[in-house]
A and B are shown apart, each in its own frame.
Chain A
Amino acid sequence: MDRNKTYPWYFASGALLLFFILCFIPSVIGVFYSFTDWNSFSDKVSFVGFDNFKTIFIGDKSYLTFIGNTVYFTVFTTALKTILGLIFALLFTRGIKLANFHRMVIFSPQVLSYLIVGLVFKGMLHPSTGFLNIFLDKIGLDFLSNDWLGSIKYAFPAVMAVDTWKGVGYGMVIFIAGIQGIPESYYEAASLDGAGFMQKTLKITLPLLMPTLIMTTVLNVTYGLRVFDIIYVLTNGGPGYATDVMNTAVFKEFSRGNYAVGTALSTLLAVFTMAISYFILKALNKKEEY
Chain B
Amino acid sequence: MKTNKVIMQVVQNVIAWMVSLTVLIPLVVIFISSFKTEAESYTLTLGLPKKWMFENYSVVVERGKLLGSFFNSFTYASISTLIIVVLSTLAAFVLARNKNKRNKIIYYFLVLGIAMPVNYISLMKVLQFTHLINTRIGIILIYAAFALPISVFISYGFIDTIPRELDEAAIIDGCTPSSLYFKIVFPLLKPIIATLFVLNFMSTWNDFTMAIYFLNESSKWPMTLAVYNFFGQYSTQWNLVCADIVLTCIPVLIVFILGQKYIVSGMTSGSVKE
Measured CB to CB, the residues of A under 8 A from B are 1, 3-9, 11-12, 14-16, 18-19, 21-27, 29-30, 33, 88, 91-92, 94, 96-99, 101-102, 104-106, 108-109, 111-116, 119-121, 123-124, 126, 129-131, 134, 165, 169-170, 173-174, 177-178, 181, 211-212, 215-216, 218-219, 222, 225-226, 228-229, 233, 247, 250-251, 253-254, 259, 262-263, 266-267, 269-270, 273-274, 277
- Which residues from B are CB-within-8-Å of A22? 123, 126, 141-142, 145-146
Question: In whole angstroms, what is the CA distance A250 to B121 when docked?
Answer: 8
Given the interface pairs A121-B26, A123-B44, A270-B116, the reply to whether A14 lies near B90 with Cβ below 8 Å is yes
Convert B1-37 into 0s and 1s, putting 1 for each residue whose CB lies closer than 8 angstroms to a CB of A.
0000000000011011101101111110110010000
Question: In whole angstroms, what is the CA distance A21 to B138 when docked?
Answer: 12
Residue B45, interface by CB 8 Å = yes
Contacts A251-B212, A262-B121 given; 16 further ones with Cβ under 8 A? A9-B94, A19-B113, A21-B145, A23-B118, A26-B118, A26-B126, A27-B122, A106-B20, A108-B256, A113-B206, A113-B249, A115-B227, A129-B238, A178-B273, A215-B270, A250-B120
Question: In whole angstroms, what is the CA distance A99 to B103 when docked?
Answer: 44
Q: Are B25 and A273 in contact (CB under 8 A)?
A: no
Report how many residues on chain B are interfacial, defined by Cβ distance under 8 Å: 99
- Which residues from B are CB-within-8-Å of A129? 42-44, 238
Measured CB to CB, the residues of B under 8 A from A are 12-13, 15-17, 19-20, 22-27, 29-30, 33, 42-46, 83, 86-88, 90-91, 93-95, 97-98, 100, 102-103, 106, 109-110, 113-126, 130, 141-142, 144-146, 148-149, 152, 167-168, 171, 177, 180-181, 202, 205-209, 212-213, 224, 227-228, 231, 238, 241-242, 245, 248-249, 252-253, 255-256, 260, 263-264, 267-268, 270-274
Q: Are A15 and B274 in contact (CB under 8 A)?
A: no
Given the interface pairs A18-B87, A18-B145, A113-B205, the reply to whether A23 lies near B113 with Cβ below 8 Å is yes
Tell me if B's interface is mostly helix, strand, loop or mixed.
helix
Given the interface pairs A16-B91, A112-B252, the reply to whether A3 lies near B12 with Cβ below 8 Å is no
Q: Are B29 and A124 in contact (CB under 8 A)?
A: yes
- Which residues from B are CB-within-8-Å of A6? 97-98, 167, 171, 177, 180
Given the interface pairs A119-B227, A170-B267, the reply to whether A15 lies near B249 with Cβ below 8 Å is no
- Which residues from B are CB-within-8-Å of A215? 270-271
- Which residues from B are CB-within-8-Å of A277? 115
13 A-B contact pairs sorted by A residue (CB < 8 Å): A15-B87, A23-B145, A33-B122, A99-B16, A101-B20, A105-B23, A111-B202, A111-B255, A181-B272, A211-B272, A215-B271, A247-B117, A269-B117
- Which residues from B are CB-within-8-Å of A119? 227-228, 231, 241, 245
